[in-house]
Structure 1
Amino acid sequence: MYELFSDLGGWLTSGAQWSGSDGIGHRLAEHLQYSLLATLIATVIGLPLGLLIGHTGRGAFLAINLASFGRALPTVGLVVLVFLAGGLSMLPVYVALVALAVPAIVTNTYAGMTAVDPDVKDAARGQGMRGHQVLLQVEFPLALPLIMTGLRLALIQVVATATIAAYVSFGGLGRYVFDGLAQRDLVQVLGGAVLVAAVAVALDLCLAGLQRFLFRHRTHRTA
């Protein structure tokens, strides 16, 4: 075991391992591209949907059940299905990653909106605020902590699952996992897994810091 971790340390710190199109730097950039783009697309889809159903109370049953259905989808199966329909491209990977991320964003946004005290919304309307003003100036800021939690969950899931890009012969950190398994190179497999975990933790910490900044900024404005 000690020898394995020693080899892993050498693999991670080797200069040659970080250079070139197969190097860690390039694979890391690919993985971040897949993960961040998929999460951004999922946010564009899921955030307005969650805000809408939370604000109006309409379509909640359908949206939440569709979100649950999305969570139950087998990611690799979805990749294969879209791959067979659309051919070899990154489209199946992005479809699967977005489908994985949308449920967490929708459900947490909806939960955050429904957690807003109705008396606060009534008071805002009593002051003459219109529907969109109540949504943007009252409900959304109060729901933001749960919304950010949903984004963090979605991003972590996407980062962990983006390794499937290598399953259909594309790049990312999953390349080390799949190539290592094919070559029976345990150090390479473990190295890929460690890198994926490190990226997930780093991005989660970044979003946590952003969440604290937004909360502090909102608290100062309220005060």
Structure 2
Amino acid sequence: MADPAERAMNPIQQAVTWLNDPLNWTNPNGILDRLGEHLYLSGAAVAIGCLVAWPIGLWLGHTGRGGGVVVLLSNVTLAIPTIALLTLLPLTFLGFGEPPVIIALAVFAVPPLLANAYTGVREVDPEARDAARGMGLSGGQLLRRVELPLAVPYLAAGFRTAAVQVVATAALASFVNGGGLGQIISAGFGLSIAVGGGQILAGGLLVALLALLVELLLGVVERLVTPPPLRKARRRADRRAQSATAGAGA
């Protein structure tokens, strides 16, 4: 019988072997297929989250009277467990598969998108607003031509946070047969640990690496769209936004 140290290494060795098998990448429902599904689910969810959260956050930030609404909406969406939505939505007209997964993940993406959109507009220099009004810009023109461009770094920060969270959470799609890299983990659990432990570990590693890659790529994008003088101010504002969304309900 193998000693404990050897048994502890077995799943790692199995994961390396499983990942090095070309058939596990190219076969139907292999890694490449599951990766495509994962990216589609995550991209669609974040896109829907942007369509919902950004207009609300930008408009409330423009009016300056929606701080409490932002906190409320963010806390409500954060309070709903994603796994609960994934369990309940398939029982509706959406059925099982991709639609309930996308909707559940979109709800999960809303809080950082909403909070950062609101904060980005509120952080615009009041003197810039006054100058724009002095030039005769209407409220809508002020939002489109002044506040929105200056809020882009904050929108990028919210997008980055939402995207990473959604990519990591999309692994739960396997609970409702929604596809994605989580199916690899789920299939591994369908086997005995002795046989499927390496596949489970490999699936978890793939999800973690994908989330890390998204974090790094969007971090570069966020830095590119943030002027150097605004980076320190934006980081301070991000901390305030996170405190508002995460701590207000405590």
Give the structure-1-normalised TM-score: 0.90
2:31 is aligned with 1:24: yes
2:143 alignment counterpart: 135
2:202 alignment counterpart: 191
How far apart, CA to CA, are the structure 1 residues paired with 2:139 and 2:57? 16
Structure of greater relative contact order (alpha carbons < 8 Å, 6+ residues apart) = 2
The equivalences for 1:24-63 within 5 A come to: 24-63=31-70
Q: Is the 8 A contact 2:54 2:117 kept in 1?
A: yes
Structure 2's unaligned 5+ residue stretches are: 1-7, 231-250
1:182 to partner: Cα distance: 2.5
Number of equivalenced pairs: 219
Q: Is the 8 A contact 1:177 1:189 kept in 2?
A: yes
How far apart, CA to CA, are the structure 2 residues paired with 1:141 and 1:55? 13
Which of 37-46 and 78-87 deviates more?
78-87
Show structure 1 runs of 4+ deviating over 4 A: none
Q: Which amino acid aligns with 1:49?
A: I
1:97 alignment counterpart: 105
Which of 112-121 and 19-28 deviates more?
112-121
Structure 1's unaligned 5+ residue stretches are: none
CA offset digits 1:181-220 (Å, max 9, x no partner): 221222111111111111112122222222233336xx9x
CA offset digits 1:96-146 (Å, max 9, x no partner): 101000111001111111112222211221223222232122212222222
SS at match of 2:137: coil
2:115 aligned to 107, 126, 129, which one?
107
Q: Is the 8 A contact 1:173 1:196 kept in 2?
A: yes
2:220 aligned to 188, 209, 219, which one?
209
How far apart, CA to CA, are the structure 2 residues paired with 1:200 and 1:56? 35
SS at match of 1:128: coil
Q: Which amino acid aligns with 1:119?
A: E
How far apart, CA to CA, are the structure 2 residues paired with 1:162 and 1:135? 34
Q: Is the 8 A contact 2:11 2:198 kept in 1?
A: yes
Q: Which amino acid aligns with 1:212?
A: R
Residues 112 and 92 of structure 1: CA distance in aligned 2, closer, same or farther (over 3 Å)? same
Q: Is the 8 A contact 1:152 1:207 kept in 2?
A: yes
SS at match of 1:188: helix
1:23 to partner: Cα distance: 0.9
SS at match of 2:226: helix
Q: Which amino acid aligns with 1:174?
A: G
1:3 to partner: Cα distance: 4.2
Q: Is the 8 A contact 1:21 1:27 kept in 2?
A: no
2:79 is aligned with 1:72: yes
Q: Which amino acid aligns with 1:51?
A: L
